[in-house]
Structure 1
Amino acid sequence: MTTMVRTPTKRFEQRKSAIVGSAVEVLNRRGVRGMTLADVAARLDLVPTGVIYYFKNKEELAAACFLRGIERYNRLIAAAEDGGDVRERLRLFLDAYFDYRARMLAGEVEPLTAFNDVRALNCAPVNAAYVDMFRRIRTLFAGPETRGLSRPALGARALLLISEVFWAPLWLHRHDPEDFGRASRRFWSIAVDGLAAPGASWNPVALPALIPKAGGEASSELFLRAATQLINDEGYVGASVEKISARLNVTKGAFYHHHETKDELVVACFERTFDVMRRAIRQAESVSGDGLQTLTTIASALVEYQLTGNAPLLRASALTSAPEAIQPQLIARFDRISDRFASLISDGVADGSVRPVDVNIGAQMLTAMINAAAELHHWTPGVTPQTAAALYVRPFFEGLAPNQA
C-alpha cells in the first residue's frame, strides 16, 4: 500500500514562513537556549501547539531561522559576485548589506538572523550551509591581486569581513537609516585600505602577560575562565552552574561561594574581559611611539591572548542570550572600550601614522576584529598565536584589498 504524501498548501507555507520570521526576532534577542516556542507563538497570537504543528521543537525552528538567514546572506553575496575586482566586490556586498539594514528598519524586509548561537545549535545541515556561505564570502577575495595569498590567508580575510558585518548592528543604531549608505562607504574604505597610513611601518611591541596566573583549584579566576568558555560555546542559558562546576570538578556549593547568582557571574566574566582589554591598552600606550604602533600592539596582544591557553575573552555574542535586564550595561561597556579605541585612532591620525578615517566606525571594526579572533582556528587551519598577527591582524590594519595604484 502506497502512502500518499500531501504537498503543503500555500497557506501552510505562508504560516510556516510567518513563524520563522517571528522566531528570528526572538532568537536574535535570546539565543537558541533562551528562545521558547511559547514566546514565538505569543507574537503571532497562537498557542504553542500551533507552532509545534509546523516545527516539532525549538531546535528545528532555530535551524529554520539560521537557514533563512544564510539564504539571505547568500543573496547579498550574489549581488557582489559580478564585481570586476576584489575592491568592487566588497563594495557591492557592503552596499547590499547596509541597504538591507535600512530596509529592515523601514519594515520593508524581515530581520536578518544573528549567528551568535549557530555553533551552540550544532545542527549538521545548518553547519554545512554556514560553511558554504563562508566559502562564498572567501571567493569575493579571489583575483589577480590576491593570487599570492595562501588559503589560510584568504580565510582570515573572509573571517575579518563577515565578523565586521555581524558586529555592525551593535553600532549602526547610532546612525539614521538615510545615512547607512554613508556608513557603508566609510566601512568599505577602512576594510579595503586599513587604518595604517601609506608607508607606515608594521612594528607592534610584545606585551607581558595580560592576566595574572590563577590560584588554587577553585579560585575565582578559574571559575571565570570555565564560565567564559562555556558561555562562548553554549550561550548564557547553556552554561549552567552544574556544567561550570563539573568542568572544574567542584561542587555547586563552591560555585555559590564565589558568585551568588549566575547573572552576577556573567557580569564578572564581562568585567574580566574588559579588564584584560584595558590592561592591554595601558601597557601598549606605555611602550609605543605613535598611534598606529599603540593600536597594532593592542590588537596583536589581544588576538594572541585569544588563541593562547584556556583563558579566552568573553565574546560579544554572549550578549544575545544574557538576561535582557543586564544587556544595556554590558553593551555600554563595550561601547566604552570602542570609544577608547576611537581616541587612539584620533591620536594616530594626528601624528600621521593612521589614515584619516571615520574614527568611530574604525574603533567598532577594531573591537569586532579582536572579538572574532576566537573563531580564527575554525577558518584558518594551522594558525598559531605566533602567526595570527601576520595572518589576521596585519591585514586589518593594512587593508583587505589595498589599492595597488
Structure 2
Amino acid sequence: MDDGRIAGAATARYARKKEAILAAATAILNRQGVRGMTLADVAARVGLITTSVTYYYRKKDDLAAACFLRGLERFDAMITQAAVQPDPPSRLKTFIDLYLDLNRRVRLGEATPLTSFTEIKALKEPLRSSVSQAFNDLFRRVRGFFEGEGFEHLEKRERNARTHLLMEQVFWSGTWLRRYDLDDYDRVRDKMYDILVGGLAAPGRLWSPAALPDPTPVSPDGLEWRETFLVAATRLINQRGYRGASVEDISAALNVTKGSFYHHHDDKDALVVECFQRTFAVIRKSQVDARAGQGTSWDQVSAATAALVAYQLSDHGPLLRASSMGALPTDIRHEMAEGYGRGSERFAAMISDGIADGSIRPVDPMIAAHMINSMLNAAAALGAWVPGVERDEAAGLFARPLMMGLFTA
C-alpha cells in the first residue's frame, strides 16, 4: 500500500472515530447537560480510554461545543434545502418534513442523535460566545421565512418572535414525537403544518383574549417566603440548566446559607419537583379559570394561552422549563412528565370542545395541545429574542401567531 492510501485510510479512521465520539457525547449531553457530561462517560460509550478522547477534544467543553456546532450544521442544512422552495408556506412544510425525516432516522438508529440546544449557556467562555453566535446565525436564516414580499407589515420584533416560535416548535417536538409511531409521521407533519399556517381559530374569530385572575399559588399563612424562594430557584435553573445550577448557586441567589437550603429540602431534586409542581399549579389555575369564563371554547383557549404567556414575563415568572426534567432520576422524571401530560390533555379537551361548538378549526386536538405547551415553554425566553418586550404585549407577539397562523397579519 502506498503512502497516499495509508494516509487516506488513517484519515477515514480518524473521521469515523470522531463521529462516534460526537454521537456518544450528544446522547449524554442531551440527558445530563454540560455539567453532567464527562469525558470518561463518553470514552466508555465508544470503547476508548479517556486519554484517547482527549486526542480529539482536549476538554469537556470543547467536546460539548463541537456537539452544539454539529447540531447547528444539521439544522442549517435543512434550512438551506427549504429556502429553495418558491414561497413561505412551501419552505415551512419542507423544513418540517426534513426535520421529521431526520427524527425518524434517529429513532431507527440510522442517524446520530439530534442535539438539544438548551444548555449552550452552560459552556464556558469563549466557547459560549462562539456557539451562541452560530445559533444566532441560524436564527437569522430562519427569520428569512418571514422577510421579503408579503411581510412588509411585520416589524423586526414580530419577525423575531415568530422565528423563535417556529424554531422552538421544531426543537420541542422531539419531546412529544415519541408518543407517535413512525408510520404516523406523515400525518403528524401535515397536522403540524396545518396548525402553523392556519392557526386554531375558526373563520371569523378574532384574537381578543379576556383577562384572567392571577394564577400564582396562594401560600399558606407564614409560608409566603416559599413563593419568593421557588421563583428565584426557577429562574436560576432555567438560566443555567438543572446541573448548572448548584445548591451553592441557588442558596446564594436566595441569600440563604447552604444549611438553610437543606433545612427546607432534602436535596436539589426535591426543590426541582416543587418548582415543577408550582408550574403545574399555575397552568392548571389558568385553564380552570378560562373554562369558568363566558364565551366559546376558542375564547377559553385564547384566554388561557394569553394569560400564561404574559405570566412568563411577570414578577412571579417564569415557569420552569420542561428541559429540566431530563436530568431528574427516572421515577421522578416520569411523575413530572405525567404532570405535563395532564396539562396537555386539558388543552386538548378545550380544543375538542371548540371544534364541537364551531369556534375552533378541525385540527388534531392532541398535536395542537403539544404545540401550545411548546409555545408556553418557549415564552420563558421571549425576552432574549425580543429585547424590551413588555408583559402586556407578550401574548400578542407570541401566542397570537400560533393561535391565528404564523403568516397572518
TM-score (norm 1): 0.94
- Unaligned segments of structure 1, at least 5 residues: 1-5
**Distance in 2 separating the partners of 1:323 and 1:136:** 37
Q: For 1:66 and 1:323, how far apart are their aligned partners in 2? A: 24
Alignment of 1:237-252 (within 5 A): 237-252=243-258
- Could you tell me which of 29, 53, 66 is aligned with 2:55? 53
Q: Does 1:177 align with 2:182?
A: yes
**How far 1:209 sits from its partner (Å)?**
1.7
Paired position in structure 1 for 2:374: 368
Question: Which residue in the other structure is 2:241 paired with?
Answer: 235
Give CA-to-partner distance per residue, 1:124-182, whole Å, 9 cap, x none: 11000000111111112224222211111111111111111111111111211122121
Q: 3-state DSSP class of the match of 1:317?
A: helix
Mapped to 2, the partners of 1:216 and 1:53 lie a distance apart of: 57
Decide whether the 8 Å contact of 2:40 with 2:50 is kept in 1: yes
Matching residue within 144, 152, 158 for 1:147: 152
Q: Which amino acid aligns with 1:132?
A: D
Contact 2:217/2:282, CA 8 A, preserved across alignment? no
* SS of the residue 1:146 aligns to: coil
Q: Which amino acid aligns with 2:176?
A: W
Partner Cα distance (2:242, 2:205) in 1: 42
C-alpha distance 27-288 of structure 1, shift in aligned 2 (>3 A): farther
1:133 corresponds, among 123, 134, 138, to 138
Query: Is it true that 1:30 corresponds to 2:32 in the alignment?
Result: yes
Residue 226, structure 1, aligned to residue 228, structure 2: no
Corresponding residue of 1:44: 46
Deviation at 1:325, TM superposition (A): 4.0
Asked if 1 retains the 8 angstrom alpha-carbon contact of 2:216 and 2:316, the reply is no
Aligned-partner Cα distance in 2 for 1:383–1:41: 44
Give the whole-Å Cα distance in 2 for the aligned partners of 1:229 and 1:39.
29
- Deviation readout 1:31-67 (Å, 9 max, x if unpaired): 1111111111111111222212211221111100000
Deviation at residue 311 of structure 1 after TM alignment? 3.1
Equivalent-residue separation in structure 2 for 1:151 and 1:315 (angstroms): 26
Query: Which residue is 1:3 aligned to?
Result: none
1:291 to 297, 301, 307: 297
Q: CA deviation at 1:213?
A: 7.0
Which string of whole-angstrom CA distances, capped at 9 and with x for unpartnered residues, describes residues 83-128 of structure 1? Answer: 1111111011101111111111222221110112122225111000
1:349-364 correspondence runs (5 A): 349-364=355-370
Q: Deviations over 1:220-245 (max 9, x none)?
A: 22221122111111111121111111
**2: distance between equivalents of 1:187 and 1:243?**
39
Quick check: 2:312–2:379 contact (8 Å CA) kept in 1?
yes
Deviation of 1:283 (Å) = 1.1
Alignment of structure 1 residues 176-325 onto 2, 5 Å:
176-212=181-217, 219-325=225-331
Q: Please report the TM-score for the alignment, with normalisation by the length of structure 2.
A: 0.93
In structure 2, how many angstroms separate the alpha carbons of the residues matched to 1:309 and 1:390?
A: 19
* Aligned structure 1 segments of 4 or more residues deviating by more than 6 angstroms: 213-218
SS at match of 1:295: helix
Shift of 1:201: 2.0
**1:39-188 superposed matches below 5 A:** 39-121=41-123, 123-188=128-193
8 Å contact kept, 2:237–2:244:
yes
Deviation, structure 1 residue 310: 4.9
> Which shifted more, 381-390 or 334-343?
381-390
Distance in 1 between residues matched to 2:405 and 2:317, nearest whole Å: 29
Q: How many angstroms does 1:313 deviate by?
A: 0.3
1:394 aligns with 2:400: yes
**SS, match of residue 80 in structure 1:** helix
Kept in 1, the 8 Å contact 2:217–2:278? The answer is no
1:218–1:250 CA contact under 8 A, matched in 2 = no
Secondary structure of the residue that 2:272 maps to in structure 1? helix
Task: Specify whether residues 240 and 217 from structure 1 end up closer, same or farther in structure 2 by C-alpha distance, changes over 3 A only.
Answer: farther
> Structure 2: which 5+ runs fail to align?
1-6
Residues of 2 paired with 1:235 and 1:382: CA distance?
Answer: 24
Residue deviations 1:288-319, cap 9 Å, x none?
Answer: 31111111111111111101125320001112
2:338 and 2:390 map into 1 onto residues whose CA distance is: 32
Task: Give the distance between the partners of 2:257 and 2:217, measured in 1 at CA.
Answer: 24
| Cα-Cα RMSD | 2.0
Deviation string, structure 1 residues 314-335 (Cα, Å, up to 9, x no partner):
0011123333442222112111
Distance in 1, matches of 2:198 and 2:117, equals 27
Report the AA paired with residue 130 of structure 1.
F
SS in 1 for 2:242: helix
For these two proteins, the number of residue pairs brought into alignment is 398
Q: Does the aligned pair in 1 maintain the 2:197–2:405 contact within 8 Å?
A: yes
Contact 2:217–2:281 (Cα < 8 Å) also in 1:
no
Q: Is the 8 A contact 1:186 1:361 kept in 2?
A: yes
1:177 alignment partner AA: L
Q: Which residue of 1 aligns with 2:4?
A: none
Identity of aligned residues (%): 48
